[in-house]
Structures are given as C-alpha cells and as structure tokens.
Amino acid sequence: MPEFRLGERQIGEDQPPFIIAEVGINHEGEFDKAIQLVDAAVEAGADCVKFQSHITEAEMIPTDMTPGEISDEKLWDIIKRCELTAEEELRTKAYCEERGIIYLCTPFSREAADRLDAMDVIGFKIGSGECNNIPLIRHIAKMGRPIILSTGMNDIVSVRRSVETMWELNCPFMLMHCTSAYPTPYNNVRLGAIRQLADEFNVPVGLSDHSLGIYTCLGAVALGACVLEKHFTISRDWPGPDNPISIEPHELSDLVKGSEAIYKAKGGDKSVLAIEEPVIAFAYATVVSTNPIRAGEIFTTENTWVKRPGTGSIQATKLDSVLGKRAVRGILPDHHINPDDIEGFV
C-alpha cells in the first residue's frame, strides 16, 4: 500500500489512528470561537483540527434551499454567516501551528482551494459533497498536496472516477468512508465499507463519522481505519446546524485514548505469550490424587482428578493417559502425580 503522509506524520494501518477534530462551521463565523475550538482540540489530544473554507458567492448561486432536516434556515444564509475571512483563516492556521496541532481545511470552491494553497496548507480535506466534483478535484490535485477525500453519497463506481483523477495527476491521497446523514443511524454506518475501499483502491482508509457518540469510530479502528474524523464543538448547546451532532471535549479525549487502546489491541494471533507464563503456574490444572492410592491400585476418576495449581508434572490434558494404569507406590491425597508414580507411563 502506498505511503501517505501529512508533513512528518505518516498515516496508515500500521500507525496509531490519526484523530481529526472537525470544527467545520461550528464557530458560526466567530474567529474567537474558532480559536477556542483549537485550544479545546489540543487539550483533548487530537492530531488535527479541521475547518471549512467558504466563499459563498464562489461555491453556490443564490438559493432559498434549506439543508433539509439539518436546519430550516436557508443554506445561503448559513454559509454566509459562517464564513471566516482570508485573514482569519490565515491567523487560525498560524495559531494551530503555534499550538502544535495540524491545520486542515475543506475548500468548497476553486477560489477557496486557491486561498488555502496560497496559505501553504499541509494538505487538503475534500468533503463528500465534492467527491464527484471532478473539476474541483482535478484543480486541487494539480497542486500536488496530499488529499484526504471523503466518499459519502458515492458508490464504488463514483469513487473510482475521483481516484483515477488523482492517480492521473500523481497526487498522494487517502479515502474516508462516510455516510452523509445527520445523525447517521448506527445500522447505516456500514463499517464494512472501510475494508472494501482499502481492498479496491489499495490506499489507507479512515472513517468520517456522523453517528452520535464515539462508538462506531472505536469499532472502525479494529477494522483498519487509520483516520477518525468527528464533528467537534465545545458545547452542543452552541447555535449552529452541526453542533447537535458534534462531540464535546470530554468525548474527543475519550476517542483519542480509546482509539489508541484498540489500535494497540488489534492484530496478533492465538498463541501463548510470555506475559501469560506467571499466570499459567496457578491457573492451569495438573493431575493429582483425590483419595489414598495403594501400590498396584489402578488410577481411576474416583482417586485421581485434576486440580490447581499447575505446578505438577502432568497437565490436565494428559489425565486420560494416567487413568487405567497402576500406581507403583502408595500415594497420599492431594499429591501431584509424577510419571515415576505410574507403571508404564509414557
């Protein structure tokens, strides 16, 4: 699988999960809130904080459309209100660098992509709505910066068109499985798509998740997701269409810790580990006498069984090879049976 990097950070299944706190537009166009969210993401331990770059007139025509169940406010009004200026975006990026967290931003227009490129961003996050926007993907891919592409609302055929565009331009990229429903019911998350995308395109795959809580993200790590992205807010009581489905700082902190634990726990095989050896000594059972046994008497389940600790010579798995044989000497109860106690024991 090709290597994917954001600056010095390598991203892949053999690396700890890369956690993206997606601020998006949860700042509601207020620069001070954007900075608060950066601080909160840093304190929670996220690797990256992601914003959205909106230049409303460049990305859409005037419309009275609303974003469906997300909000009954006009989409144009939401986007216009939540814009950050070019200067504010640059200041936000600089503050992220000062705090030691990676800054990413999703452009929704050619002009926004050019603005971010001029800011010398480390890479681009392209949202699901632009997954089949081949002109925009081509425009961004020509810049040569790494791309993280979300794939909600697109099937394998549609994703392939975007992938082939990035392949043609030799642009480094990875994919994010996503279901574009807000919130996403758990039975529609489809974690199996993570492996499907990885196998189909041989690239790292993450999960951009819109279900409630962090459960599905944790499960995704076990299935190979190398990037986890969740909408992030300081409080779900803040105004804004995405805040109600966002996780708060304590949940982001749990996601960071939990995903690292599951990453460390996944993989391996069914073998006995060295760290289990001390437990074997007391947890295993070995063959012992349960009643007095006379010399020449036959070992039976009435006078012989298995007990802990496992410090005897004959493990429980060998009981059947003892039963039916004769004792060569007298044996007291609760004695670990040894091979030399048994006539003809092999």
pLDDT one-digit tens code per residue, 302-326: 999 999 999 999 999 999 999 999 9
**CATH classification of the domain holding 300:** 3.90.1210.10
Is 346 among the domain residues? no
Domain co-membership, 219 together with 88:
yes
Is 3 among the domain residues? no
Q: Is the pLDDT of residue 346 over 80?
A: no
Is 5 among the domain residues? no
| CA 181 from centre of chain | 19
Mean pLDDT of 238-260: 96
Single-letter amino acid, residue 125: K
Domain co-membership, 229 together with 112:
yes
Helices (H), 183-295: 192-201, 215-222, 249-265, 277-283
Is 7 among the domain residues? no
Domain co-membership, 246 together with 301:
no
Residue 2 pLDDT level (bands cut at 50, 70, 90): confident
Q: Are 138 and 161 in contact (CB under 8 A)?
A: no
Domain co-membership, 176 together with 300:
no
Domain co-membership, 261 together with 282:
no
d(Cα 96, Cα 101) in Å, to the nearest integer? 5
**CATH classification of the domain holding 135:** 3.20.20.70
Using CA atoms, how far residue 143 sits from 4, 128, 234, in Å, is 16, 20, 34
Percentage above 70 pLDDT, the chain? 100
Is 279 among the domain residues? yes
Is 128 among the domain residues? yes
| CA 246 from centre of chain | 17
- Using alpha carbons, select from 5, 135, 100, 112 the residue that is nearest to residue 51: 112
Give the number of domains in the chain.
2
d(Cα 168, Cα 180) in Å, to the nearest integer? 27
Domain that holds residue 287: 274-341
Domain co-membership, 261 together with 278:
no
Per the confidence metrics, is the pTM higher than 0.75?
yes
Domain co-membership, 195 together with 312:
no
d(Cα 109, Cα 89) in Å, to the nearest integer? 15
Domain co-membership, 289 together with 231:
no
Q: Are 148 and 124 in contact (CB under 8 A)?
A: yes
Domain co-membership, 114 together with 55:
yes
